[in-house]
Amino acid sequence: MRRSSNAIVFIAAGLYLALGAVAGYATVNAVLLLLLGVHRYRSDRSRLSVVVIAISTLVLIVNQFALFVVVVLVSLGIYYFRARPPEFGTHVSNHRLFMNMRMEEQSWVLRSMSYWHAFGEIHMDMSLAVPEEKETTIVLQGVVGNVDLIVPEDYGMQVEASVLIGQASFRQIQEGGMIQRLSWKSPNYEQSEQKLKLQLFYLVGDIKIRTV
């Protein structure tokens, strides 16, 4: 047991030195702090974890600005590819640097939408919403995001969620860590009176989908 622990320590130290020599120790330390911040945020939602995530992300942007620009451009390209307006009904589309969307306190109209943001927090309670169409598609994509969605139990759902670093959870399905992908479709989706497609993609994110 002690030998295996020592082996893990030596392997971790070797990887740290190797990655630090290639990418720079400031970048590696920022990634480690970012992972710790995301893990802490998932457990207690503390303000300290938010500060750690913000500072780590800022350090990564400063030290790897060219890489950050590439990631943003690729993310925008994928967003425009996926955010196709529906054939019928209205469709809301927008992209911005920062986003804070809270639709959880009063009745609102649920319509197809697609949003891209670099940093954002989105809370939607669809049990309070009045659907505009029988089938709604919601595309949310960004670099860093915290997404909390509440969906009525009787909705037919098709979910695609991907997070490079962080967590994606839906009902009893929970994926956390690095490169997480969640895919699920209601068995009675085609027969459901109200259908909802969720497409959620983040580089660093905490995605939570609940049903009521």
- What one-character-per-residue DSSP string does 127-150 give? GGEEESSSEEEEEEEEEEEEEEEE
CA distance 26 to 28: 6
- 124: pLDDT confidence band, cut at 50, 70 and 90? very high
Q: Where are the domains of the chain?
A: 2-63, 73-211
Tens digits of per-residue pLDDT, 139-198?
998 888 889 999 999 999 999 888 887 788 887 666 555 667 888 899 888 899 999 999
Give the pLDDT confidence score for residue 159 in this predicted structure.
Answer: 92
Tens digits of per-residue pLDDT, 90-112?
667 787 888 889 988 889 999 99
Number of helical H runs and strand E runs in the chain = 4, 8
CA distance 204 to 69: 15
Give the pLDDT confidence score for residue 157 in this predicted structure.
Answer: 93
pTM metric for this prediction: 0.67
Which residue did the predictor score with more confidence, 191 or 77? 191
Residue count of the chain, please give it. Answer: 212
- Cα 2 to Cα 16, 47, 54: the distances in Å are 21, 37, 37
